[in-house]
Structure 1
Amino acid sequence: MTLLPDGPRSPRLVQALSFAVSRQGTMRRLRRQYGSAFTVQSLNLGRMVMLADPGEVRELFQAAPDVADTPDANLGSVLGPGSFFAITGDEHRRQRRLLTPPFHGRRLRAYESLIESETRRETDSWPEGRPFPVMPSTMRITLNVILRAVFGAEGAELDELRALLPKAVRLGSVLAVLPVARVELGGHGPGARFDRYRRRYDEIVDLLIDRAQADPRLAERDDVLAMLVQSRYDDGSAMRRDQIADQLLTLLTAGHETTATTLAWAVERLRRHPAVLERLAGADDATLDAALMEVQRVRPVIELTSRQVRAEAMRLGRWTLPRGTVVTASIALLHHDATLFPDPGRFDPDRFAGARAETYGWIPFGGGVRRCIGAAFAALEMRVVLRTMLRDFAFEPTTAPPERSHNRGIAVAPARGGLAVVHRRRPDDVSGDGAAAHPHRAADPAG
């Protein structure tokens, strides 16, 4: 027997508009009204059960793929049939096994110098003493890092992908949630434009694969494309070119904008907490990681992660959900749950000092078999970029109100792009205990 959580009875369009106007505000209001689980109606996913209880989220993430798996409506429709967003079951496990090694151990550490050099190259042109948004810079840093570390691109191909992919990803994100916009109009319109982007992307990846296969030093390369060209399934077969192209595009889509946006939020948060900002200059990796974890808690750039019921019915905690129901873990609600994070509105990196995050309460990378495969890479990239920025620049604190959240489709970003005022450091600006000299000080405001 079906047993769904209660929820609003207003028309689907009214509910969708409420989420569009204020997603976090709507989720918090519904939680106050209905508790830690409620049912809503969405335009593109239909009936959706939203969860904010860690125990029920754990059950969702631990469900077998034949019980609950990726929703029908997702980015796989634009990233390709070989994307992690599109593949399921055995095929998902097989490809995940091939893509795991580049993001762990020695392979992962090999990317650190690349990330630092891209950060310094971008920040060399930062203006001093006047406000500017850091997000355009963090977007360029993370894009360049992925193109080199994942695609192994250099020269003309690097330049062309740098121009092509941001446009393709932005348009693809819109088409994924509004598939009606993909209708063909005699070679015109958004759908036709995306198809042209995709054809050119596939041509460039084909060229990169050809070069990798002809490279006598292929085995010494650390980029993901080179490793996928050499990888083999258990039966000895290689990945097809279209599978490699789809997965590289997936890694870029999942890891570029989200990482860049988190770094922009880090600047926005730290400038409003000068005591934390001062402590982080010259801090060790564990202290930087704790600060970034707290940034991801208070300002998650992805607010929801979903599965769709594939079995005839799914028992989930108190509920029995029928086939086709989309079940969503609300990252934003979990991260602001006072039972998990006391005084959740307070920005306090010390809550993560020397402690592991609650597995099903802190979930910026999702969870279960579909947890972001590049989570360790993203954590490394954010740490190295933040460490490099704080080592080279003093950020002026501010008493300005917090930046509002702006929904960019894939990610929720600071509305002003993480506005900063910086001054290049002198060699003696950072002392041995990590204290930094800031040219301007401000009170440490709450929130």
Structure 2
Amino acid sequence: MRGFTVADKTSAYDREDDEVDDETAVENEAAEVAADPEAADSALDDVDADDADDADDADDADSAGRPAGKPKSKRLFKSAKKAVKAESPALFSPISLRGVTARNRVWLPPMDTYSAVARAGKPTPFHYQHYVSRAMGGFGLVCFEATAVAPEGRISPCDLGLWDDDQIAAFQWIVDGVKEAGAVAAIQLNHAGRKGSTGCFSAGYEGGSVPQDDGGWQTVAPSPIAFDNLAAPRELTVDEIHGIVDAFRAAAVRAVNAGFDVIEIHAAHGYLLSEFLDPLTNVRTDEYGGSLENRMRMLVEVVDAVRGAVAPAVPVFVRISATDWAAGGWDLNQTIATARVLKEHGVDLVDVSTGGILPGVAIPVKPNYQVPFSEQVRVKALVPTTAVGLITKPKQADRIVRRGEADAVQIGRAALRDPYWPLRAADKLGLKPSEAPYQPQYIRGAY
């Protein structure tokens, strides 16, 4: 596997921002994430962090040996800052995994849009606009939202799906557009488990289960334990587990046939594979429950199925919740142990997030609050990782890559506000327009 090296410790520093974030909106977003981490699936990254940058730089110097409380020389600080500005930002260095190279480390995470309004799993012109605009905006990798491997694997009736060959063509034109704009096209494959058949803005029943007579379905899970006020799931049989593994395999083949460069398996945020991992939601007594080895069995089988179904040049990622923030539940040590196993089974990158298995847990939401988990998985499992979680500013994102806390940074909610976030970041990190990922048609409007 190429491209996994200790990150460069030098990068450009951000210039003063041209605009100031609305502090009230920022606080509201942080509160929303804390209250409902699952709703922020892959988009947990939106609090202003620039105000903390100088303090972080001071912390770096203190950790390097300066006595605590001793102010650093203003002259020395300016000299160091100028020296670092001469270096290329780590955030805009390319990264290669197997046969795929992303032009930079700024990636768009999978964010549910619940916009397959015909309820047939097929993307629409909205999805074309959504994904291709971010590719044109300079993202190195664009990951399509959670895409169900079976109809009953959808989170909502309006989720994307790849459970049928008839769905492939609806993805192809969008994938082509993403790749023509210079980005790597990735897709996240998912089974929602007990958190399926839920309402959304486009289907109604928000916050609850969609009735079966209005397009909902009986949900399934490792154990018949309901999530909050959602309808109770049915426990899967071993044969049904094998059938879902086969569904992931078939969906991965369809994804490659649609042109996707990367396959990501969703094992986070309390969906089916996450439910199998967590002892709070998996109380089975067969080979899929009990020990960590047993609880990770289905995920490993899915990884083996997908890895075996796609070409060796196709990277396979796994998104995982590093902790579920709940006593007695899934935690960082289990995540690291699982990541080591996944690496042995051909996983090329672990997409590190947290939360989602239980409602109402206390999450210490703040800028970079999930980054330490990414760093620990990267260092202790020796596998590339991504970081997500209230990351919004260019210097903040660059520092994460430069310090080796992750190999790529995912910009979610900030990218919903600004599809061209990478181009603005390139300017603030000192890249010339000719070095930034501009489309040729847009270069005359460069920062």
TM-score w.r.t. length of structure 1: 0.24
The structure whose residues are more often helix, as a share, is 1
Relative contact order, CA 8 A, sep 6+: which one is greater? Answer: 1
TM-score w.r.t. length of structure 2: 0.24
Structure with bigger gyration radius? 1
